[in-house]
Chains A and B, each alone.
Chain A
Amino acid sequence: MSAHIIAAIVEHKPGVLFKITNLIRRRGFNISSISVGATENPNLARITMVVEGDEATVEQIAKQLQKIVEVVKISRLNPSESVIRELLLVKVHVADSRARSDILGYTQIFRGRIIDVIPDSMIVEVTGGPNKINAFVELMKQYGIKELARTGITALARGEKV
């Protein structure tokens, strides 16, 4: 079992996301993350999914998704040939000035940004691949994470491939 990335270009119509998630549910597959957003074409949306499963399962998901009438294109993204990004927002507890300067330092190292500050907590924004996000979340645990939100990944194939 490993994680696979499926990107779907779909017609921007009501009910498409329902169809996709319902199909994945009905065939007994698992989604670990899904993100939806606009594309260069206002009539089309891009859905990026991370699904768990062996090669045969993922191949089957991709083929079943392709059958949905509003699905224009399904691609499987190879992680080593793709740009993969995820956005993290994390609200961290700040106990003292020492903690504050540590968090600021880590944020700088991870090329993140401080979005909001109040005396005893701050919100940090970090983007990157899932491993980088995981590492940052691990670091923040020692200070106490009050709230955390991840968007799930979005991705594009590198180079000329579309």
Chain B
Amino acid sequence: MVRMTGAKALIESLKREGAKVIFGLPGGAILPVYDVLYDEADLRHILVRHEQCAAHMADGYARASNSVGVCMATSGPGATNLTTGIATAYMDSSPVVAITGQVPTNMIGRDAFQEADIVGIMTPITKHCFQPRSAEDIPRIVKEAFYIASTGRPGPVLIDLPRDIQQMEADMEFPENVKLLGYNPKLDPHPLQIKRAAKLLIEAEKPFILAGGGVKLSGAYMELIALAELLQAPIGTTLMGKGAVPEDHPLCIGGVGMHGGVANKVICESDVILAVGVRFSDRTTGRFDSFCPEAKIIHIDIDSAEINKNIRVHIPIVADARRALKAIYDEIIGYASKPSVRRSEWIKRVNELVEAAKEYLEHEDGKLTAPAVIREIRNLMPRNSILVTEVGQNQMWAYLHFKVLMPGGYITSGGLGTMGFGFPAALGAKIARSDLPVVDLAGDGSFLMTEQDLATSVAEDIPVTVVVLNNGVLGMVAQWQRLFYRRRYSHVYLGRIPDFVKLAEAYGASGVRVESLNDFKEAFAKALKSDITTVIDILIDPEENVLPMIPPGGSLKDMMWRR
């Protein structure tokens, strides 16, 4: 036992959990912790310019490093500013530990200055919330917070620390193990379900693998590819699953869902779907009641509440994706006749569909369009690199046209669809993987929501490349208005304000505007090598649509390929 303050115990505990960096912004109710950080050499603190960015950075850091990201803010507005980032991490199952200051315990409930009921606010958007009422609980709570955030289905955890608890001295004991009565994630699949799944997959004539974010979270890409190759089953990904397998693999046929491509056609023709680490979001399935009604579905997920939530499935497997895939593989290998021979017809059909779809994704050569820019980004970025997107057209163009070659090399706000996520998440990813180039593919609308953290990127020396597809409108909203609201463009014009080149320069970053594809190639290649953040402003046509798409309320069969 060591005697120290709650604040000191917090920092000590964070280090014991392996935290390397905290993204945060101080304020009154968290000052005792910041006072400890003043002398701290082993834990880097990144000072953000808005707490929302701290949460997104911690999230980006977590996704890029497969470890827990930590963000910190003061009470009241500092804490509420974190919420959008925490809700984003919750929807995408990202392990983040958020630490907030709180007014002293004797002031709680008295509407004190900068008091907000952040536990009440965060409860629906976190896996768990703690509010220590005694300093000696802090080491145990930090241990539990990291354990809960990073195990099972990962997600954000809040520690709300009243100021007097930070200041209180106590004899601290740092526990080695976690004991939680009501929390025990189930990792191993049920052997009987594995047998049933293997049998169904062997007997399938047209199997399809739908890979989601869970594949990335459990690090199951090798197991997934091995099983796909054994079964000769095409792999389609959800938005969160994009990059679960390198997309130049011949069996990987791209994304499923509202802005999916040919994989939507293929999944509709399949007879058995192995859905792994997916939650059957409405953006993936289209209308629930008409999602592949003929196919039998095997669903692997670590969260039992996802089974039968949106789509009724035939064989549920509650387990870690990696273990379940390996178990199915081993089970199938045990059978005498391998299925791959019988599948040649199915693969032929899949290839036919893929070929036929190609013409829809082709664009005029040399023109400065979003798909062309994205293709050049792919050509110029090394295989091992990370593309982060904002939300809207930029994100869906990337979903359709950017091939992720490094597992985990694609970071996006899938579930919550948070505009402004991309840039801070890119900074977090870059901190986690300073060895890799990190690019934020942005729209002008999204980038404006968090651009103030260009200051953080410059001050803290975190160089990323921001590619702004600048069409001067809230592009995806405008697209819906164009297609479904008779071109009644209600409140979507942004007017190409500000001048992003000057904006970047004002922060001490580098800014460049390009007017041709060749200029872009040159600017982008230079930006990748630059040791300061570069914003590349590309003026594109505001009338450009992301196609194909499934109209809202439609099913996967109702794909709109052209306007």
Instruction: Please report A residues at the B interface, Cβ cutoff 8 Å.
Output: 10-11, 15, 18-19, 22-23, 26, 56, 59-60, 63-64, 66-73
Contacts A15-B119, A60-B305, A60-B309 given: A69-B182 contact, CB under 8 Å? yes
In the bound complex, do residue A11 and residue B124 qualify as a contact, i.e. CB atoms below 8 Å apart? no
Report how far A54 CA is from B124 CA in the complex, Å. Answer: 24
Enumerate chain B interface residues (CB-CB to A < 8 A).
119-120, 123-124, 127-129, 148, 180-183, 303-305, 307-309, 312
Q: Which of B119, B182, B309 contacts A11 (CB 8 A)?
A: B182
Contact across chains for A67 and B305 when beta carbons are under 8 A apart: yes
The answer to whether A18 touches B123 (Cβ under 8 A) is yes
- Closest chain A residue to B157, Cβ basis: A69
Q: Which of B124, B180, B307, B312 is the one whose CB lies under 8 Å from A69?
A: B180
For B305, the closest partner residue in chain A by CB is: A63
B residues less than 8 Å from A66 (CB atoms)? 304-305
Question: Would B124 and A23 count as touching, CB distance under 8 A?
Answer: yes
| Cβ–Cβ contact A69 & B127, under 8 A | yes
What residue of chain A has the Cβ atom nearest to residue B127's Cβ?
A: A69
A59 and B181 contact, Cβ closer than 8 Å, known pairs A19-B123, A67-B303: no
Least CB distance from A93 to B in Å reads 41
B123 near A22 with CB under 8 A, answer: yes
CB-defined A-B contacts under 8 Å, sample of 28: A15-B119, A15-B123, A15-B129, A18-B120, A18-B123, A19-B123, A22-B123, A22-B124, A59-B308, A60-B305, A60-B308, A60-B309, A63-B305, A63-B307, A64-B305, A66-B305, A67-B303, A68-B182, A69-B127, A69-B148, A69-B180, A69-B182, A69-B183, A70-B181, A70-B182, A71-B182, A72-B182, A73-B182
Contacts of A10 in B (CB 8 A): 182
Q: Which of B127, B180, B181, B309 has the most CB of A within 10 A?
A: B181
User: For the complex, what is the distance from the CA of A10 to the CA of B182, rounded to whole Å?
Assistant: 8
Question: Which residues on the A side are within 8 Å of B312 (C-beta)?
Answer: 56
Report B-chain residues with C-beta under 8 Å of the C-beta of A67: 127, 303, 305
Q: How far is the CB of B170 from chain A (nearest CB, A)?
A: 20
The CA of A89 and the CA of B307, in the complex, are separated in Å by 42
Residues of A within 8 A of B148 (CB): 69
Tell me which residues across on chain A come within 8 A of B120, comparing CB atoms: 18
User: What distance in Å separates the Cβ of B145 from its nearest Cβ neighbour in chain A?
Assistant: 10
Tell me how far the C-beta of A23 lies from the nearest C-beta in chain B, rounded to whole angstroms. Answer: 7
- With a cutoff of 8 Å between Cβ atoms, the chain A residues found around residue B124 in the complex are 22-23, 26
